Structure 1
Amino acid sequence: MGHELETSTRKVILSMLKTQGSLTVHELSKQLGITEMAVRRHINTLEKENLIESKLVRQAMGRPTNMYSLTALSDELFPKKYMQLTMDLLGELLEDEGHEKIDHLFVRRQEKLESRYQTRMKAKSLEGRVAELATIQNENGYMVEWTQTGKGEFMLSEHNCPITQVANTFQQACKCELALFQNLLNAHVERTECLAKGGTKCVYMISQNK
């Protein structure tokens, strides 16, 4: 119970800094109704987690005091509606320009991703390229695992899809991801399971080009 209370208090502190801007320990203590010592304990934890930062500010009277504010990292803790915005914009584009424009948009995205990651594949074996692709996808939040299933054959599984809502409506996303993998790996890639089509994960079977 005590741990839950401490976690709750830290969430309140983050919310106060989000809505009110920079605050001192004294101001936080007064609003929270707890001692400054207790506030400092929470502040220390949040600083270690890189969620808040302090800045020494000189005052008209008295000693300089620390003002605490949120870091860029803490912004991820607050609700976002990016995906809904994306869906709305794609829906408007589909209505105004049709399926061809949507297809073109996803192909352009695929080409840019290829250009961005192609250098990371250079001078690597197929196994090395699969490992690098898994690293890239993990960096982007796909929760990837991969394993060698035979000589020159591999299985790559994505347990999370950060763009599930988009992929559920616009199958171009899945089509372009498959093409991206084929081009980056320079290999034969087959998708055998897909999150957007009711699967529990996205599974890719990879083998040398014949």
Structure 2
Amino acid sequence: MENNISDNEKAVSILKTKGEQTIKEIANELGVTTEGARFQLLKLSNEGLIKSESRSKGRGRPQQVWSLTAKGHARFPDTHSGLTVKLIEKIKQNLGEEALNEIIYAAGQDNILRYKDQINADDSLEDKLTKLAAIRTSEGYMARFEKDEDGSFMLIENHCPICEAAKTCQGFCKSELKTFKTILGENVQIKRVHHILEGARRCAYKIEE
């Protein structure tokens, strides 16, 4: 199989969006043989972008599962992280925590107005989530949603382009949750069930009316 950049990037993207995968699962996603997938994975492993672990499932032989390393996750952009963190630190030092929270609140209000331009209050919850996921993806969050059998939804964001800023000030995460609640409606319950800042590979929110 020809070793090209697009195949490598696709394998990294698969692991970013789907989490850990077996070599067979990755091969199916890439549309190649398991040997072809192995070739790609070994190359990425040698570059320090992915890693493999042996997992036992039931009575069968242990399976090798592949996942991204910290270096692999870093391939996905954290928007202007260095500059943003420095600005946050300067605001804290010179203006105080309260002023920083006011700035974050104002930015959140701007986001709410911008989202409302694209998401109608009369839309169904599923339509709202479809539009919200599209907007968040355009902002770099790699977002999608799933509908559960009980009628609830799961909004999933596989990447956080402001992760370093959020680590410095978790007011960003609080503002984000408030934005979702405002956009989706007062009758909607939202609970964050996975959080990148707590060590999860993605952020995910359980949403139900």
Q: TM-score, normalised by structure 2?
A: 0.59
Letter in 2 for 1:130: L
| Cα distance change, pair 155–80 in 1 and its aligned pair in 2 (3 A) | closer
Matched, 1:99 2:97: yes
| Aligned mates of 1:202, 1:80 — CA distance in 2 | 15
- SS for the counterpart of 1:120 is coil
**What is the number of residues matched between the two proteins?**
133
| Cα distance change, pair 118–100 in 1 and its aligned pair in 2 (3 A) | same
Matched, 1:200 2:201: yes
| Aligned mates of 1:203, 1:151 — CA distance in 2 | 17
Conservation of the 8 A alpha-carbon contact between 1:134 and 1:145: yes
Conservation of the 8 A alpha-carbon contact between 1:126 and 1:152: no
Conservation of the 8 A alpha-carbon contact between 2:88 and 2:168: no
Corresponding residue for 1:133?
132
Conservation of the 8 A alpha-carbon contact between 1:121 and 1:132: yes
RMSD: 2.2
Conservation of the 8 A alpha-carbon contact between 2:88 and 2:100: yes
Conservation of the 8 A alpha-carbon contact between 1:158 and 1:202: yes
Corresponding residue for 2:48?
none
| Aligned mates of 1:152, 1:120 — CA distance in 2 | 24
Q: TM-score, normalised by structure 1?
A: 0.59
Corresponding residue for 2:168?
169
What is the CA-CA distance between 1:198 and the residue it aligns to?
1.3
Corresponding residue for 2:67?
none
| Larger-Rg structure | 1
Which one has the bigger helix percentage?
A: 1
| Cα distance change, pair 152–183 in 1 and its aligned pair in 2 (3 A) | farther
- SS for the counterpart of 2:109 is helix
Corresponding residue for 2:50?
none
Corresponding residue for 1:39?
none
Letter in 2 for 1:112: D
Aligned sequence identity (%): 29
| Aligned mates of 2:170, 2:135 — CA distance in 1 | 22
| Aligned mates of 1:107, 1:80 — CA distance in 2 | 21
Corresponding residue for 1:190?
191
Greater relative CO (CA pairs within 8 A, separation 6+): 2
Conservation of the 8 A alpha-carbon contact between 2:78 and 2:162: no
| Aligned mates of 1:104, 1:154 — CA distance in 2 | 31
Point out 4+ residue stretches in structure 1 off by more than 3 angstroms. Answer: none
What is the CA-CA distance between 1:169 and the residue it aligns to?
1.3
| Aligned mates of 1:3, 1:188 — CA distance in 2 | 47
| Cα distance change, pair 156–80 in 1 and its aligned pair in 2 (3 A) | closer
Corresponding residue for 1:120?
118
Q: Which runs of 5+ in 2 are unaligned?
A: 5-76
